[in-house]
Every structure is written in structure tokens, then in C-alpha cells.
Amino acid sequence: MGSCFMKPFDVYPLFDIEIVKGEGCYTYDAQGNKYLDLYGGHAVISIGHTHPHYVQRVTEQLNKLGFYSNSVQNSLQVQLAEKLGKASGYEDYSLFMINTGAEANENALKLASFYNGKKRIVSFGKSFHGRTSAAVRVTDNPKIVAPVNSGMEVTFLPLNDIDAVKAELAKGDVSSVIIEGIQGVGGIRIPDDNFLKQLRRVCDETDTVLILDEIQSGYGRSGKFFAHQYAGIRPDMITVAKGIGNGFPIGAVLIAPKFKAVHGQLGTTFGGNHLACVAALAVLEVMEDEKLVENAAEVGEFLMTELKKISGIKEVRGRGLMIGIEFENSAADIRRRLLFDEKVFTGASGTNVIRLLPPLCLTKQQAELFLDHFKKVLA
């Protein structure tokens, strides 16, 4: 009999590369090759790999206490809520901490339904909100919705079509509208500022809860703290994850004052644990100290301006360091050559779009370096 071992479930097709080390905007594989990281592991690495302040804060906390339950006081949660409120301009909102983006969206959708007693949800074409029950149902990809998740009432509408939204909300049975600050998986599609303003208005008029999914587009990535702030609106709830912990699994919901907490309604085992809070505090400290939101705006603007000068690209879209480069045909080969020939990590959405989601500390020099590699591959 041959020996048999448990293996990881084969969920993703994997590049034949093992990344074992990271520093700032660079990663290193097991063979010692150095890669420029323009992807940050799906927009997760916000302040750079192994940032010394982050490592120090998390290590110090781990040496004190990694975890205790939410049945006792945890002043780190209070500190984090205050700091995040200040950084984002949402000081009058409350913070509910959980572990992932999908979980943040689950809780936002649930809280909205508790609040107005309604069932139906409006989402948008090409949206992605996560892979758990409600989050996957409001994601516009039937392939990943299991029969067990399909019972919820969800209506998908075209992005930026305010008349379609008004028609649905007029029916009076919609609990919430969920929309990404910028669609990530959908190909860096940006909701028009005017559309978001009108969306806010019609949600108010119909007592519909407006949920802004800023999981990928938030936390400074767009060049403002949240992408929806370009439109000058205030949603009822904002969901965050990815960049909030620089790799530590954290999700959260920022909740408007009109929602009243009811004991026993929401809950979490790991959410807001001591280690998670300190990781999130360290991220905000570095973002403030190194002016990373401003850097994302500046370097992102430079990158997009330069990308638009390159011929052979169909369209460049984005805000800050959330950039989509669309080609007429499949971009898979370009992405592969960037990775294996030029040692540059990028992302993709769909077949034709290359997605750039670098750490927010990307310098102009590193952006220029990327442009050189990119032009080489296109040539």
C-alpha cells in the first residue's frame, strides 16, 4: 500500500511560485528571486510587507495576549474605533469587528433587514461581495452560488442606471442596496459620482439601507479614505476588510447612528480580538505617519497618466492605486510574462483586464520601474 496524506483542497489554479519573504513593495520566492509586487495579494497589503512598526506592534501584543473572548472589556477595540472614525471622517458611526469581507457584508445585509423588516436586496451587474451565504447571493456570478444559497430575493441592476434603481425601490420591498466603492473583480468599474448622489437620495426617500462595500476600494486605496467620498455621500453602512489588517484577517462594519444595537442580534468569536485590533491600529498609525492615502492619490495619478500614453491598450480606469488596464483580447499572456519574465506580480479581472493593487507605499520610482517592465512585455 502506498502512503496517503491529507492535501489542501484544490480550490485555485496556482502559479508555480512559492513566496516566502516580503519587504515593502517586494516579495521573494523560495529560490531567492525578487518580485515587484503590484498586487499586494488582492489589495490586502496596504502599508507594505513586514513593515517594522507593524511587526513590532503585533509581536509585542502576541507576547502579552493574543486572544480573549468578547465577554470582557477590550480597550483596544475602543482605541481602534476612535482612530478609524477620525481617519475616515466617520466619528459618529459605530464599529462592529469581524474577520473577513464576506462576513462584513453578511452582517451589514442582516442588520439592514433587522432594521426595516424587509427582505429584497438590490445589487449590481459584475458585482463581487464574497463567498458566504448572503454575500455570494448578492454577487453577480451564478457559477459560485450553490442551490442552498439561492433562496434570497436579489435583483441585479446595471451599474450607473439610476432609473432602474428608482423603479425597483418604488416597489417598497427593498431592504438594502449594496454597491462597491469601485468594482474590483468586475474590472475596476467606477460608479459615477452623480449616480451615487442620486442613489443616496432615493434610498433616503424609500427607507432603504445603503451599504457601501469598500473592502477592496477602501482604506486609502482610491486616494481618499473611502472611494465613495469622491461623491461626497454618507452611506448607512460601510464594510471593510483586506487593507485594514495588512494581512491579518480582519473585517468590520461602520454603522450609522440610526441603527440601535440589540444584545444577542449580532455576534462573533474571533472578531475584534486583541491581536487583530493591534494589527489594525498599526496600519492606521503607519498610514497617518507616512501619508499613504496622499501617496496613493499621487502615485496612482502618475501611473494612470503614463499608462494612458501607451499604445495597444483599450482603456485605463481607476482611482488612486486601484487601476484596471483593459485590452481588446485576453491579457492572460501579458500577466504571465510580467510574472515569469519580468518578475512583477499583477492581478486580473475577467480575461481582458490587468488589475493593479499595489501596497499604498509604492513610490514613483517603483511605478516607473513597473512601467519599464510593462512596456517591455507589450513590445
CATH of the domain at 169: 3.40.640.10
Instruction: Give CA angle at 342 (45, 374), nearest 5°.
Output: 85
What's the pLDDT tens digit per position in 212-242? 999 999 999 999 999 999 999 999 999 999 9
In a domain? residue 15: no
In a domain? residue 94: yes
What's the pLDDT tens digit per position in 238-284? 999 999 999 999 999 999 999 999 999 999 999 999 999 999 999 99
- Virtual torsion, Cα 26, 27, 33, 38, nearest 10 deg: -60
Number of domains the chain contains: 1
In a domain? residue 173: yes
Instruction: Kindly give the interhelix angle for 274-289 and 52-64, rounded to the nearest 10 degrees.
Output: 160
Euclidean distance between CA atoms 111 and 325, whole angstroms: 36
Name the nearest CA neighbour of 348 among 360, 357, 361, 359: 357
For residue 153, the one-letter residue type is E
Instruction: Kindly give the interhelix angle for 332-340 and 364-378, rounded to the nearest 10 degrees.
Output: 120
In a domain? residue 266: yes
In a domain? residue 269: yes
In a domain? residue 377: no
What's the pLDDT tens digit per position in 130-161? 999 999 999 999 999 999 999 999 999 999 99
The parent domain of residue 245 ranges over 52-289
Euclidean distance between CA atoms 169 and 156, whole angstroms: 12
β pairing state of 120-124 and 154-157: parallel
In a domain? residue 274: yes
From first to last of its 379 residues, what are the pLDDT tens digits of the chain? 667 999 999 999 999 999 999 999 999 999 999 999 999 999 999 999 999 999 999 999 999 999 999 999 999 999 999 999 999 999 999 999 999 999 999 999 999 999 999 999 999 999 999 999 999 999 999 999 999 999 999 999 999 999 999 999 999 999 999 999 999 999 999 999 999 999 999 999 999 999 999 999 999 999 999 999 999 999 999 999 999 999 999 999 999 999 999 999 999 999 999 999 999 999 999 999 999 999 999 999 999 999 999 999 999 999 999 999 999 999 999 999 999 999 999 999 999 999 999 999 999 999 999 999 999 999 9
In a domain? residue 300: no
